[in-house]
């Protein structure tokens, strides 16, 4: 295991978190998500707050995704004035659960750009052979009623790129990218003093009441990707990053793939601001390195970076353009 410069990583995350344009971008995506869910609730004749809680609340994500979670009663408050971590956590919760809502919007040709709707229609056809979104949704509803397991993330995963490729293994199953650690490493526990932005009262309430966790010695219950995963040094992507002296945390970022696939749906998509948002969210605890985020961003329009360029220098250079 190679030591990771956590101070350097968190410094870049802080720079992205403090960037005003990134904060505004994440806020505006949250506004768009709320409008989408309210319209969906009206269409299916459901209570708006119930729908917001279902798709943006902490129950939408696995319990291991506990960083930045808040009690559901604060969802609107966070959308309006929460910190960037809380807002990005709401967005990730939707990424984990919002497949039906996305399909509804595609069928109704609302809320998303024409280009993104076209991309999703082609993706659905490539995955299922069904061209009609209405027919596909009808099938999905039947499937849901019969408790069929729906791969919610299948509408968003990049068709080509590092995230999909990093999941592949040799035969028999060897050289996988990562696997859960056998035991926790104390230096990778998340100290409340290292969390940025500062942990909010809402987040603390969730930790105390929803997670039934008592903070001792300033250690948060958040499980970072660095803590959870042990990487395989023989994996293609790990070797590639090491060869080019890039920081390795967990390999190409699946969370970035999900975030960017959602950001891309809306008419305010900006690849650089989206990358800054992912670095803000994923490089503090940390879950990923900047290089792993940039690798995942390549299929979404990142076209002026290569793995031969230092990822920290690249991101800092871009940040200066967004002051």
Q: pLDDT-based confidence at 162, cuts 50/70/90? A: confident
Question: Which residues make Cβ contacts (< 8 Å) with residue 163, sequence separation at least 6?
Answer: 157, 252, 253, 254, 256, 257, 295, 296
pLDDT of residue 294: 98
pLDDT of residue 1: 45
- Of 66 and 197, the structure prediction assigns the larger pLDDT to 197
pLDDT tens digits for range 238-291: 999 999 999 999 999 999 999 999 999 999 999 999 999 999 999 999 999 999
Among candidates 24, 158, 46, 23, which has minimal Cα distance to 101?
Answer: 46
Sorted by where each begins, the domain ranges of the chain are 6-19+160-320, 28-155
Report angle CA 220, 225, 228 to the nearest 5 degrees.
80
pLDDT of residue 154: 54
- Of 95 and 314, the structure prediction assigns the larger pLDDT to 314
- Of 140 and 223, the structure prediction assigns the larger pLDDT to 223
Q: Is the pLDDT of residue 298 over 50?
A: yes
Residue 286: is the preceding peptide bond cis (ω within 30°)? yes
Q: Is the pLDDT of residue 68 over 80?
A: yes
pLDDT tens digits for range 135-157: 888 887 777 666 665 555 555 55
- Of 84 and 119, the structure prediction assigns the larger pLDDT to 84
pLDDT of residue 86: 99
pLDDT of residue 108: 93
- Of 191 and 100, the structure prediction assigns the larger pLDDT to 191
- Across the range 83-91, mean pLDDT stands at 99
Q: Is the pLDDT of residue 171 over 60?
A: no
pLDDT of residue 155: 56
pLDDT tens digits for range 6-63: 999 999 999 999 999 999 999 999 999 999 999 999 999 999 999 999 999 999 988 8
Q: Tell me the β-bridge partners of 230.
A: 179
- Across the range 146-174, mean pLDDT stands at 63
Asked whether the beta carbons of 74 and 266 are under 8 A apart, the reply is no
Tell me the CB-side half-sphere exposure of residue 300, using CA atoms within 13 A: 28
- Burial class from Cβ neighbours inside 10 Å (0-12, 13-18, 19+) for residue 198 reads exposed
pLDDT of residue 139: 82
- Across the range 170-186, mean pLDDT stands at 79
The whole-angstrom separation of Cα 279 and Cα 260 is 12
- Of 20 and 236, the structure prediction assigns the larger pLDDT to 20
- What torsion, rounded to 10 degrees, do the Cα atoms 244, 252, 197, 216 define? -100
The whole-angstrom separation of Cα 22 and Cα 138 is 38
């Amino acid at each position: 295991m190679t030591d990771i410069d956590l101070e350097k990583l968190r410094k870049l995350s802080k720079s992205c978190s403090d960037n005003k344009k990134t904060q505004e971008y994440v806020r505006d995506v949250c506004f768009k998500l709320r409008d989408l869910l309210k319209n969906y609730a009206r269409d299916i004749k459901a209570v708006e707050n119930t729908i917001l809680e279902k798709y943006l609340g902490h129950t939408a994500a696995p319990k291991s995704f506990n960083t930045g979670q808040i009690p559901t009663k604060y969802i609107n408050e966070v959308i309006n004035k929460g910190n960037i971590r809380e807002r990005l956590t709401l967005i990730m919760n939707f990424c984990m659960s919002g497949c039906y809502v996305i399909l509804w919007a595609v069928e109704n040709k609302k809320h998303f750009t024409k280009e993104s709707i076209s991309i999703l229609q082609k993706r659905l056809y490539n995955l299922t052979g069904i061209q009609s979104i209405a027919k596909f949704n009808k099938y999905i509803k039947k499937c849901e009623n019969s408790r069929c397991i729906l791969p919610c993330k299948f509408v968003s995963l990049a068709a080509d790129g590092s995230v999909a490729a990093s999941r592949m293994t040799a035969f028999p199953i060897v050289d996988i990218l990562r696997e859960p650690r056998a035991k926790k490493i104390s230096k990778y526990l998340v100290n409340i003093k290292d969390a940025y932005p500062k942990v909010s009262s809402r987040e603390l309430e969730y930790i105390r009441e929803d997670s039934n966790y008592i903070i001792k010695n300033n250690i948060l219950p958040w499980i970072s990707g660095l803590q959870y995963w042990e990487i395989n040094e023989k994996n293609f992507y790990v070797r590639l990053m090491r060869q080019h002296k890039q920081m390795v945390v967990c390999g190409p970022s699946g969370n970035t793939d999900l975030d960017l696939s959602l950001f891309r749906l809306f008419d305010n998509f900006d690849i650089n601001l989206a990358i800054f948002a992912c670095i803000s969210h994923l490089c503090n605890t940390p879950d990923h390195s900047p290089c792993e985020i940039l690798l995942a961003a390549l299929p979404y329009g990142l076209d002026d970076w290569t793995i031969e360029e230092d990822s920290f220098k690249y991101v800092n250079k871009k940040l200066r353009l967004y002051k």
